[in-house]
Amino acid sequence: MYSHIISEKQGIVQLITIDREHKLNALNIELIQEIGLEIDRLNKEKLVRGIIITGKGNKAFAAGADIAEFAKFNSKEGEKMSTNGGIVFNKIEQSCIPVIAAVNGFALGGGCELSMACHIRIASENAKFGQPEVNLGLPPGYGGTQRLSQIIGKGRALNMLISAKTIGATTALNYGLVTQVVPIDELLNTCIQYVQNLAHKSPIAIDAVIKCVNTMYAENNGFNFEINQFSECFERDDFKEGTQAFMEKRKPNY
Binding site for ligand COA (CB under 6 A): 23-24, 26, 63-68, 106, 108-110, 132-133, 135-136
User: What whole-number distance in Å separates Cα of residue 15 and Cα of residue 54?
Assistant: 8
Determine the Cα–Cα distance for residues 246 and 114; give it in Å rounded to an integer. Answer: 21
Beta strands 99-103 and 128-130, pairing class: unpaired
Beta carbon of residue 10, minimum distance to ligand COA (angstroms, whole number): 29
Show which residues are catalytic.
113, 133
Looking at the Cβ atoms of 70 and 194, the one nearer to ligand COA is: 70
Do residues 203 and 117 make contact, with C-beta atoms less than 8 angstroms apart? Answer: no
Q: Residue 106: which residues within 8 A CB-CB, separation 6 or more?
A: 24, 59, 60, 61, 62, 63, 127, 128, 166
Least distance in angstroms from the C-beta of 136 to ligand COA = 6
Q: Which is nearer to ligand COA, 46 or 236 (CB)?
A: 236
Q: For residue 94, which amino acid is it? A: Q
Instruction: Give least dist CB 100 to ligand COA, A.
Output: 22
Give whichever of 197 and 228 is closer to ligand COA, judged by the CB atom. Answer: 228
What is the nearest approach in angstroms of ligand COA to the Cβ of residue 184?
16
H/E segment holding residue 101: strand 99-103
| Calpha distance 98→225 (Å, rounded) | 27
Kindly tell me which of 65 and 195 has the beta carbon lying closer to ligand COA.
65
